[in-house]
Structure 1
Amino acid sequence: MVRLIIDTDPGVDDAFALTLAARSPEVDLLAVTTVFGNVGLAATTRNALRVLALCGREDVPVGAGAARPLVYPQPFEAKAVHGEDGLSGRAGFLPPHARGAEVEDAVTLLARVLDESPEPVTVAPIGPLTNIALLLAAHPHLKQKIDRLVIMGGGLRGGNSTPAAEFNLWCDPEAARRVLVEEDVPAVLVPIDLTYRCAVDGTWLTRLRESGPLGEELEALTTVYRAHYNQSLGFDGTVLHDAVAVAEAISPGILTTTRVPIHVDTSFGQGRGSVIADRRLTAAEDEPGFRPVDIALETDLDGLREFILDGLR
């Protein structure tokens, strides 16, 4: 069984990722922590609580974390993609969480859960990396308690927030650099190069809706998100970026990784927040300013879509 913590900024695809983990019999979901990102921290925390309530998992503690990046303000949120409330205007239709968020902040909750765990824990950050950067800076002795980080973020061939940068890393490039380049915790990076290829179509979403009340509720969360991808992808479907990363956290090896030295750009040029991957045949693992990271670039696309669908329904 995988011992798992999810750090998230729900977000429609985050809601799918949370549900996948919360409903999986292979997962011991130890905690959920929230961060600013797709919408503000108050909304991401509310959304995480309500998705867990929808899944019948109010036993999972939720800690609210960073409300802003480490250094510079977040340029803009992703309300145009996810809706004003982060869930296509449907957050208020989800059941309220009886307990609410923990008194502990996200970093304190992360540190306590890791410290108390008898075995190493997988941590899946699927939003900006601010909470994880703070955790590793404040509690470096807990690195040994992290089995691996499975991170959704980055794009080797370009971004979705800027021509160069993917949203999660672009929200807090300084945090992303600290976690991905300056730390030594084992990490798998799941970039948009792969997640876009894992897009699901209208038929898949219909199968989800027809699977039962939970599937119906999840499909209803996608209206704004689906319309955005309808326009950007040119077909009726959507991209479940974060669920792809959580699938790897649940089932290690479902994504095929390649070890690549990477750098995160924290300059103020056009490349800010981008991942620079050294894919030369002569690339050195000790290149200054780079760290080797396992990057997920391939998978059985149809098999992955079925894995996620089966988990959600």
Structure 2
Amino acid sequence: MRKKNRSDVIWLCVLIIISVHACTPGDSVGISESISHESSPMPIIIDTDMGADDVIAILSLLGREDIEVLAITIAATGLVDCEHGIRHATKLISLAGADRIPLACGRKLPIIGDRVFPSSFREAANGFYGMPVPGTSRSYEIDQAASLIIDVIEEETRPVHLLTLGPLTNIGDLLAQKTEIAEKITSITMMGGALDVPGNVSLETGLSGATNVEWNFYIDPVAVEIVMETDIEKTLVPLDATNQVPLTSDFYTLLKANQKTRLAEYVLDLLEENPSMLRGGFFLWDPLAAVSIMDTDLIEYENQNIDVELDSGDQAGRVYKSGLGNPVHIAAKVDPSEIEQEIIAALNGIEHEELVMGLTPIASNAARASLVWAFPVEQLTLEEPVHMFFPPHLTEDLVIFPGWDGKIHAVERDRGVQRWVFDPEGDSAGYLPTNGKQVFVTGSDGKLYALDIKTGEENWRIETEGKLGAPYPYGDLILAWDDAGSLEAFDQSTGEVIWEHELESEVAVFVQPPLHIPFTIADDTVFFPERGIFKAIDMMSGSVIWRYEAEEWVSWRHIISEDRVFIIDDGGQVLSIDSESGEVVWKSSLDSTDNLLLLSTGDDRLFVRQKSNKIIALDLVSGDFLWENETPYGINEIDPMFEVVDDDVLYINSSDWNSESGAISAFDIPTGGLIWTFDNGSELGKFAVYDDLIAFGTFDGEFLVINRNDGEIVAEFESGAITFSPPGLSDSEAYFLCLDGNFYAIAWEN
């Protein structure tokens, strides 16, 4: 919150800065050596900490004839130290034939405090990301960035625009040393901050209190406040906007097809030297800020009053919307493909229309899906990554999903802006059932939560004796196992326990709850297995209706179809049981040594996996054998992936972990004939079906949409990382969680 003594703090900092510079005068690089310019180009000064994305941003600006870079200063509180920053900047201006651009470096520590980037970040930046950068004889002065900017602005007859790509320490020093210089600065564009999305500091450092802070603003909060308090026109390019432009293979492909200048060649070499940048988690942070100077029409902006958090520990440096804040133009929405094209055109010194569009579809009828937005959550940190088994929940305007950080996130479907986030006291369960008004969450803390689906506010919570399995809403109740040995029913409105059924023995499968829900509800009856027992209990009271006993065990997986329950017992027999009476109707004669697994039903057929990859169809009424066929690889026993559509086609996923291969096969239900098989040589994630589409991720970094009628690719997208969980799917959009720590929204043309 805004503190009453804030101005005193700021002006104390100003006095400190002025006194320090009064005691340590230094000669900056001569302004007379700066490049000549005409009246038409926009004069800008770039303040940078020389990260990999800074390199792309700076070279794209140096490639523009309508932009004149008057000076480059190094923010030594950022990723690089002075020596390496100057060397790399010297290389960049040399590539552009602009060696006369003056350079200077700023102070090593923030105005107040001692925050620094992680050493691994700084080592990569100081090492030029593996790029060959020769030593330089270019002279420069340490702690003279502000002085250089002042000299350049005072000699310039035109108003100057500032672009900041790192911490704001140099600009804070500048405005503190000579406040009147602000009159000659027409505007300042800053890459920094996070407003309606998570910050990125805690993702890398584990600072749990810094969840809403972005690195550039985190390093020097006082400098951010000094800049925000000025009357200079300010444009902010926050993570809210940059999350929409991840660096993808599409960018690389287009750049590789357009190599007309040394600038474009250098950026291509940078990406090829650092292929991890294309595997997810890397965004066009600073290049987007550069684009905001090149062409403001490519970005949608909104005007907000912004305040800065100064006095909240790890949260210091957080920016937020406030009526007491200062007016700022905020980059809000972008088209990723337009941004990519603008950057690559600038690197090549050409217009959009002159670009060679180098994208080649992977199939003749496949469309290249475009990124709508990417929402960074966190890379995999959970000990039990159960989230990979469940799809996100889609409402009309929200997508709700569990993140790898153990939290529940609700993000606007159209913009990727966070609407709300819920952090249970333990890791969330992953499965998020709703009743249209509430989202139900269980987790490792043994609590059941009911959240308002629109706001994420907690309506109620209840604590149980053990860890809860995945919740299952039905009617006015919600059911969940707890590993203390009971099945419990709760009132959906209040969380009140309605009944509790104590188990006679352990549940047949309770692996990493809540991977599975080993109970089924039909006609107000709950069906579930225990060790050697299968029960039917009354949904309203929890009392036992009937029970079937085997000698040792019954399968955890069971199927309800019309008035029958299908299970497998310890004799390896498939049993059909009357769902009302518990009487056995028929038993199959399948061999017990063949590792049986129930799959699904359709068109009066029961589908059973035999061995690892054989599918058998039995008559639902009689149990008679009808047909058999095989999948290319084994069918997952713990979490088989299949879908029956319109009682006509059975779609099933098979995989071989040893060869890292997988396939989706479509079988004709009446005959058992194979219709098609999709196999692209990679193991496949869980799929989702919507109308005529099947969508899924692969283990080699692709996300694919295929036509369920013929298995042909409809659209494809490269995230660069594994996508295992099933997506949320509509007729032209998909939403999915990726192992690179991002949640993606993509779209394609039908």
TM-score tier by shorter-chain length is 0.7 to 0.9
Q: Which residue number in structure 2 is paired with residue 33 of structure 1? A: 73
Work out the CA distance in 2 between the residues paired with 1:81 and 1:228: 16
Bigger shift: residues 46-55 or 61-70: 46-55
Work out the CA distance in 1 between the residues paired with 2:276 and 2:224: 29
Match of 1:219 among 268, 274, 278: 268
Q: Which residue number in structure 2 is paired with residue 191 of structure 1? A: 238
Q: Which residue number in structure 2 is paired with residue 171 of structure 1? A: 219
1:88–1:222 Cα contact (<8 Å) kept: no
Query: 3-state DSSP class of the match of 1:136?
Result: helix
Deviations 1:193-245 (A, max 9, x none): 1112122311321332443353232123246865266253xxxxx41211111
TM-score normalised per structure 1: 0.86
Please give the root-mean-square deviation of Cα atoms over the aligned residues, in Å: 2.3
Q: Which residue number in structure 2 is paired with residue 161 of structure 1? A: 201
Work out the CA distance in 1 between the residues paired with 2:257 and 2:133: 18
Work out the CA distance in 2 between the residues paired with 1:265 and 1:159: 14
Query: 3-state DSSP class of the match of 2:199?
Result: coil
1:115–1:186 CA distance, 2 compared to 1 (3 A):
same
Alignment of 1:28-67 (within 5 A): 28-36=68-76, 37-67=78-108
Work out the CA distance in 2 between the residues paired with 1:101 and 1:58: 14
Work out the CA distance in 2 between the residues paired with 1:20 and 1:206: 17
1:34–1:66 Cα contact (<8 Å) kept: no
State the structure with bigger RCO (CA 8 A, min sep 6), 1 or 2.
1
Larger Rg: 2
Q: Which amino acid aligns with 2:326?
A: R
2:244–2:334 Cα contact (<8 Å) kept: no
Work out the CA distance in 1 between the residues paired with 2:94 and 2:73: 15
2:200–2:213 Cα contact (<8 Å) kept: yes
Q: Which residue number in structure 2 is paired with residue 242 of structure 1? A: 286
Unaligned runs of 5+ residues in structure 1 are 233-237, 279-283
1:254–1:97 CA distance, 2 compared to 1 (3 A):
farther
Q: Which residue number in structure 1 is paired with residue 189 of structure 2? A: 150
Match of 1:94 among 133, 156, 168: 133
**Which consecutive aligned stretches of 4+ in structure 1 deviate over 4 angstroms post-superposition?**
95-98, 223-226
1:293 aligns with 2:328: yes
Work out the CA distance in 2 between the residues paired with 1:301 and 1:164: 24
Q: Which residue number in structure 1 is paired with residue 144 of structure 2? A: 105
Q: Which residue number in structure 1 is paired with residue 248 of structure 2? A: 201
Deviations 1:148-196 (A, max 9, x none): 001110011221112211110011111111112x222110000011112
User: How many residues were matched structurally?
Assistant: 296
1:124–1:149 Cα contact (<8 Å) kept: yes
1:241–1:231 CA distance, 2 compared to 1 (3 A):
closer
1:29–1:230 CA distance, 2 compared to 1 (3 A):
same
1:23 aligns with 2:70: no
Unaligned runs of 5+ residues in structure 2 are 1-40, 203-210, 349-750
Q: Which residue number in structure 2 is paired with residue 235 of structure 1? A: none
Deviations 1:222-269 (A, max 9, x none): 46865266253xxxxx41211111111233443222111111112243
Work out the CA distance in 2 between the residues paired with 1:80 and 1:5: 25
1:309–1:62 CA distance, 2 compared to 1 (3 A):
same
1:185–1:86 CA distance, 2 compared to 1 (3 A):
farther
Work out the CA distance in 2 between the residues paired with 1:7 and 1:144: 19
2:59–2:92 Cα contact (<8 Å) kept: yes
Greater strand proportion:
2
Percent identity, aligned pairs only? 28
Give 1:80 deviation, angstroms. 3.8
TM-score normalised per structure 2: 0.38
Q: Which residue number in structure 2 is paired with residue 281 of structure 1? A: none
1:195–1:240 Cα contact (<8 Å) kept: yes
Greater helix proportion:
1
Work out the CA distance in 2 between the residues paired with 1:276 and 1:132: 20
